[in-house]
Amino acid sequence: MTDPTPFDPEQFDRPPVGPAPAKGWRGLLQRRAETMMRKPRRASRALTEPGERHVVLQLIGPRPVQVMAIISQATGLDLVSASNLAREAPVVVVSGISEASADRVVERLQKAGARAVTGESYRPE
């Protein structure tokens, strides 16, 4: 009796084939969402006035998506990078901003459920 499908040792040397990209509206929306997640943005001017303060994110809280969006607005990072930054909490989110801008960022982060504080930039003497 012969085997109907002979063993091909080269089949294991090939990279795995992923799912085919979606077509039509579904594919368009999927590609657009992936692009938007990776697209760098401009930081909001109201949140980045120059100064001597910094904002420290201590805890993400129960609504991480909103926190990531606020970090993206304050820093100009794309959402993926903002997500990675938020996961590393406690971390300095923004530094070198004015006291008013720092207070605005902290207020927005706290409304999103995160715990954040503002402080003066460290200057060694």
Q: Identify the CA nearest to 98 among candidates 47, 56, 59, 63.
A: 47
Task: Please provide the average confidence, as pLDDT, over all residues in the chain.
Answer: 81
In a domain, 102, yes or no: yes
In a domain, 31, yes or no: no
- Categorise residue 24: left if φ over 0, alpha if ψ from -120 to 50, beta otherwise: left
CATH number for position 83 = 3.30.1390.10
How do residues 19-59 score in pLDDT, each as one tens digit? 666 778 888 888 777 776 666 667 777 777 888 899 999 99
In a domain, 12, yes or no: no
As a three-state string, the secondary structure of 87-112 is HCCCEEEEEEECHHHHHHHHHHHHHC
In a domain, 53, yes or no: yes
52 and 120 Cβ atoms separated by less than 8 Å? yes
In a domain, 40, yes or no: no
End-to-end alpha carbon distance in the chain = 86
* Range in 16-30, 76-90, 93-107 with the lowest mean pLDDT: 16-30
The total of structural domains in the chain comes to 1
Q: How confident is the model at residue 16 (pLDDT cuts 50, 70, 90)?
A: low
In a domain, 75, yes or no: yes
